[in-house]
Chain A
Amino acid sequence: MLMRRNPQLNKNGELIHLLSIEGLPKAVLTQILDTAGTFLSVNDREVKKVPLLRGKSVFNLFFENSTRTRTTFEIAAKRLSADVINLDIARSSTAKGESLLDTIANLSAMHADMFVVRHAESGAPYLIAQHVAPHVHVVNAGDGRHAHPTQGLLDMYTIRHFKQDFTQLTVAIVGDIVHSRVARSDIHALTTLGVPEIRAVGPKTLVPGDLAAMGVRVCHDMAEGIHGADVIIMLRLQNERMSGAMLPSAGEFFKSYGLTPEKLALAKPDCIVMHPGPINRGVEIDSSVADGNHSVILPQVTFGIAVRMAVMSTIAGNQA
């Protein structure tokens, strides 16, 4: 089979789209994290704007609702001086049956320079990236179960901020991993950055054996999974999973896999607790842990804006 070049990289190996962390060289990831550091300091200034994306139009195309993520992208784009257009897809032409590619073509005709896309189908941003003009860049804000690369990057930024050296860490990812795009992006980023021990923790219906092929150790026992962990990433348990005959109840899940202070004590004393949000208190995480001093959930949000600024400015500066 023909091995295609990773569509995210141009001929010089520079990032032109951010679709997934998979396949990106470590140097690209590190550069984005370093750049995010610069933007973090910009966000502390009186004047939080820089002109890098001035005159560019960023279209937020969210086929799946998310006020949180869309807002952080909007803030990030505006701080780069871009013009931001939010498209409410549910009420738009797509609801009338317009195909994804037709929607993109129409918006491109309105001089869109960058699309930030969230879609319910895995792979949708790849289809879009294949069909946009060379000067247009695509950022994946989450596609189906496949990837949420900006979340993966901000999670890595968070870990680097608190732990510095990736190569000495034990990281546990807990919860509904099979349906989680955040988990996949985190796993790719952690393996690329050299984390030696990554554990995927959850029941067999949510953490299948073939996850091991991605470079993780599958653990169905919570205690074994978080024992000695430096970082614990808790994933949100979605309600649909209960009705999909994968779990009997939220209560039973919390009993086995919820992060309580007792379970947290099994991890390292300076362990940090992360969560992509929004958190379900009492389902995957106990309130006292979410609000406790191991939790870095709020810093994650702050880092998120800087990381998204770094991503958008990096890709906007590279030619296809």
Chain B
Amino acid sequence: MKILIKGGRVIDPASGRDEVTDVLIASGRIVSIGRASELPADRVFDAAGLVVAPGLVDLAARLREPGQEHEGMLESELAAAAAGGVTSLVCLPDTDPVLDEPGLVEMLKFRARKLSRCRLFPLGALTRKLEGQALTEMAELTEAGCVGFSQADVAVSDTLVLQRALQYASTYGYTVWLRPLDAWLGKGVAAQGAVATRLGLSGVPVTAETVALHTLFELVRTTRARVHLCRLSSAAGVALLRAAKSEGLPVTADVSINSLHLTDVDIGYFNPDMRLTPPLRQGADRDALRSALADGTVDALVSDHNPVAEDMKNLPFGEAEPGATGLELLLSLALRWGQDSGLTLPATLARVTQAPVCVLGEAIGSLATSAGRLVEGGVADVCVFDPAAQWSVTPAVLASQGKHTPFSFASTGMLLPGQVRATLVAGTVAFEASRPVPA
């Protein structure tokens, strides 16, 4: 099917392209970017006033399948991805059963392909059942489609196992995706500080992150394994990361939309939507994360999409399951951060398109040359959005099964910028806004 996206502001952060022009798509690929001659197209999108960007690449989303269907299912969560303009996403292995067998990975990819939407890049478990003891068959899992290996939120407390896992992964050049979180220091439900003390909530000190980072960087020095640090949360953590990068260690990092915008003060009167992991820290931490994302020390912005069932959230703060829905907010929150930081639109979009693909690197094979980009001859993964539109986050407008988010209109009273009008994956329309969603 030939699709012409006409007259939009085409932004490709990778090449620096930023111009009002047309994009012609056929057979799942971008045929041309430039003023189109009057070739017959099956569909014409009028993109006047809209931005035509590469489809977003989200490095952290939980789809809850297999095993946690009361919280989310592939249908709803992939629909949420498409509604959010996300065309490729990395999903975590802490499903039930854990993604530690090639057969499970194949089944997941198969199911997702049948639903014919977002590209799914699963992370395999680093250790069997995520128990932090026995290594998984990393080569087999990679062959089945895994793009890296992760422990999700489960810390590996046995440092010998951790070192061995990194050594093994580095044999094949696999990237290990780890949350810098010390198993014992990280046990609290809120960030340690004046707010947690006042509210009587058990606190997670910054040392939970910095102690883990020191350990990881030391192990990376000795094993030369590639490590992607998931969900940095503190200024101290950012400082350690900066030093590690200037030393030349093979590390990358991401930050979640939650840590980028919120602080512990937002917990308010024990709002369980603010129960998140990593916990929301203080203003100075948020500011450090924002500048680190701007200067590239932190490579990518992720949604950290975690749909949580209603009955798992409507509990006292310490008992509520941590997590928030995020796929449909990634673009808007990236735009908000970009506006607040005084960045250009291409620089803002880079953090959710080109940069995440750089983190994935060779793990996604040939896609690495065109995912996260708009390049002639490359895959037609496109997000068309209205940068001037505003919307309010309410349960009714969310496609995800998870309706809880700290950015709900009820919690913040704020409108979010940017609305997706259409999402294409491999040249097929995966999502189209039927009419502008009212603010």
Residues on A facing B (Cβ under 8 Å): 1-2, 4, 6-7, 22, 99-101, 119, 121-124, 126-127, 143-147, 178, 181, 184, 208, 210-211, 213-214
Inter-chain contact B269/A123, CB cutoff 8 Å: yes
Q: A22-B198, A146-B200 are in contact. Are A123 and B318 (CB under 8 A)?
A: yes
Is B316's CB under 8 angstroms from A121's CB? Answer: yes
| Cα A143 to Cα B201 with chains together (Å) | 11
Q: Separation in Å of the B435 CB from the closest CB of chain A? A: 28
Chain A neighbourhood of B414, CB < 8 A: 2
- Quick one: closest B residue to A179, CB to CB? B200
Total A-B Cβ pairs within 8 A: 77
Give A177 Cβ to nearest chain B Cβ, in Å: 9
- Contact at B318–A144, with CB atoms within 8 Å? yes
Q: List, sorted by A's number, 28 A–B pairs whose CB atoms are closer than 8 Å.
A: A1-B268, A4-B268, A4-B269, A7-B269, A99-B311, A99-B314, A99-B315, A121-B318, A121-B319, A122-B199, A122-B270, A122-B316, A122-B318, A123-B201, A124-B316, A127-B270, A127-B272, A127-B316, A143-B316, A144-B200, A144-B201, A146-B201, A181-B200, A184-B198, A210-B197, A211-B197, A214-B194, A214-B198
Q: Shortest distance in angstroms between B281's beta carbon and chain A's nearest beta carbon?
A: 13
Sorted nearest first, the 10 A-B pairs with minimum C-beta distance are A123-B270, A145-B200, A146-B200, A121-B316, A213-B194, A2-B413, A124-B316, A122-B200, A123-B317, A210-B194
| A123, B411: Cβ atoms closer than 8 Å | no
Q: Which residue of A lies closest to B202 (CB)?
A: A145
Which residues, 81 to 132 on B, are CB-close (under 8 Å) to A?
A: none
Interface size class of B (residues with CB under 8 A): 20 to 34
- Whether the Cβ atoms of A214 and B412 lie closer than 8 Å is no
Of the candidates A126, A143, A178, A214, the one having the most CB atoms from chain B within 10 angstroms of its own CB is A126
Q: B317's contact among A22, A121, A214, by CB below 8 Å, is which?
A: A121
B193 within 8 A of A: yes
Q: Please indicate the chain B residues that have their CB under 8 angstroms from the CB of A7 in the complex.
A: 269
Chain A residues closer than 8 Å to B153, beta-carbon distance: none
- Judged by a CB distance under 8 angstroms, whether B137 is at the interface is no
A2 touches B311 (CB 8 A): no
Nearest to A2 among chain B residues (CB) is: B413
A1-B266, A1-B268 are contacts. A213–B314 as well, Cβ < 8 Å? Answer: no
Task: Write the chain A residue with the least CB distance to B314.
Answer: A101
Q: Which residue of A lies closest to B267 (CB)?
A: A123
> Which of the residues B269, B316, B413 comes within 8 Å of A119, measured between beta carbons?
B316
Q: How far is the CA of A291 from the CA of B351 in the complex (A)?
A: 67
Chain A residues within 8 Å of B194, by CB: 210, 213-214
Residues of chain B in range 270-311 having any CB-CB distance to chain A below 8 Å: 270, 272, 311
Task: Closest A residue to B272 by CB, please name it.
Answer: A127
Q: Which residues from B are CB-within-8-Å of A123?
A: 199, 201, 269-270, 316-318
Chain B 308-351 residues near chain A, CB threshold 8 A: 311, 314-319
CA A124 – CA B266 in complex, angstroms? 17
Q: How far is the CA of A190 from the CA of B336 in the complex (A)?
A: 41
State the CA gap A122–B233 with chains docked (Å): 24
* CB contact list, B187-209 vs A, under 8 A: 192-194, 197-201
A184 vs B270: C-alpha distance in the bound complex, in angstroms?
16
A127 adjacent to B314 (CB under 8 Å): yes
